[in-house]
Amino acid sequence: MPRTITHAPYYLVLTLIAGSLFHTVPALADTITISAADTGTYTSSGFHLSTNTNYTTGLSGGTEVRSYFVFNLPSFSAPILSVELQLTNPPGGYTSPDAFEIFQLFDVLTPIATLQATHFGASAIFNDLGSGTASGMRTASAADNGTLVSISLTMAAISAMTAAGGSTWALGGSLSTLDGTTNEFMFGFTGTGSPISGLIVTTAVPEPGTFGSVCLVLLLWGAAGWTRFRTRRDK
């Protein structure tokens, strides 16, 4: 007659513990801050001065301007989970008769060296900064004045960043809600020395190898013990 077992064998307990560890330990993540290597604007006529790092976006002085942001990306060794673009909006940086404006980000197809050079009449680059694949969006208002504005990037932008790892990459910015002839802009009064702009990148971190190895050993040990226990019990 088989013996009655009143307590769970130690190897069954180890199996349950190891399995629980695999399922309950949260995924680890790492945060990388990437400062902008360059910023600038293009007017609707295609004018850009390479030494001007102002990234005012919208309608200023009767002329529409669009912005760009250039980053030297590292090579990413783990999947990117999320990305935020953070831009300083100085006091008075949002100016508009409207309660809000929509600031949008787009991919940039223009070669980086061409984008950063001084131009007259480069309307194609101006168009590039406000069209293409949507990379992020933010509703802007006077409440953003004097703050660090965060804009979450889309999965399309994250995929493009991953592919561009180890090289230079850019985003374009425009206001999509312009509807008048008076000043309607965001990020006004930015320029050399004043603003902070950068990407906050969150990447996944692989579980430490030693932890995974310990769990695997516990699982194998527990499984082997359970097999021996079942064999003895059934005899």
The structural domain count of the chain equals: 2
59 falls within a domain: yes
Cα 51 from Cα 53, distance rounded (Å): 6
Is-contact 151 78, C-beta < 8 A? no
91 lies in some domain: yes
Q: What are phi and psi of 176, to 5 degrees?
A: -95, 0
Does a structural domain hold residue 5? no
pLDDT given for residue 232 in this prediction: 58
Please tell me whether residues 38 and 127 are part of one structural domain: yes
In one-letter notation, the amino acid at residue 109 is: L
216 in any annotated domain: yes
Q: Are residues 102 and 151 in the same domain?
A: yes
Name residue 105's beta-bridge partners. 136, 173
Determine the Cα–Cα distance for residues 49 and 200; give it in Å rounded to an integer: 28
Same domain for 154 and 214: no
Q: Where are the alpha helices (DSSP H) in 67-140?
A: 112-116, 123-128
H-helix or E-strand containing 13? helix 10-24
Same domain, 158 and 219: no
Same domain assignment for residues 197 and 141: yes
Run of H or E including 156: helix 155-163
Residues 218, 119: one domain? no
In a domain, 2, yes or no: no
Residue 4 lies in a domain: no
Rounded-to-integer distance, Cα 33 and Cα 35, Å: 6
Please state the pTM of the whole predicted model: 0.78
**Shared-domain flag, residues 175 and 64:** yes
Longest CA span, the chain: 96
Taking the CA atoms of 38, 103, 120 and 73 in sequence, report the sign of the dihedral they define.
Answer: positive
Which residue segment(s) compose the domain that 218 sits in? 10-25+209-234
> Residue 215 falls within a domain, yes or no?
yes
pLDDT by residue for the chain (235 residues), tens only, comes to 454 444 445 444 444 454 554 454 455 789 999 999 999 999 999 999 999 999 999 999 999 999 999 999 999 989 999 999 999 999 999 999 999 999 999 999 999 999 999 999 999 999 999 999 999 999 999 999 999 999 999 999 999 999 999 999 999 999 999 998 889 999 999 986 666 789 999 999 765 554 455 445 444 555 555 455 455 555 5
Same domain, 184 and 220: no
Phi/psi at 76 (nearest 5 deg)? -85, 120
Task: Answer whether 61's CB lies under 8 Å from 183's CB.
Answer: yes
Helix axes 209-234, 10-24, angle to 10 degrees: 150
Domain CATH number, residue 167 = 2.60.120.230
Q: How far is CA 110 from CA 49, 130, 188, in A?
A: 16, 12, 24
Question: Residue 9 class from Cβ within 10 Å (0-12 exposed, 13-18 middle, 19+ buried)?
Answer: middle
Tokens representing 218 are 């516990």
Please check whether residues 17 and 89 belong to one and the same domain.
no
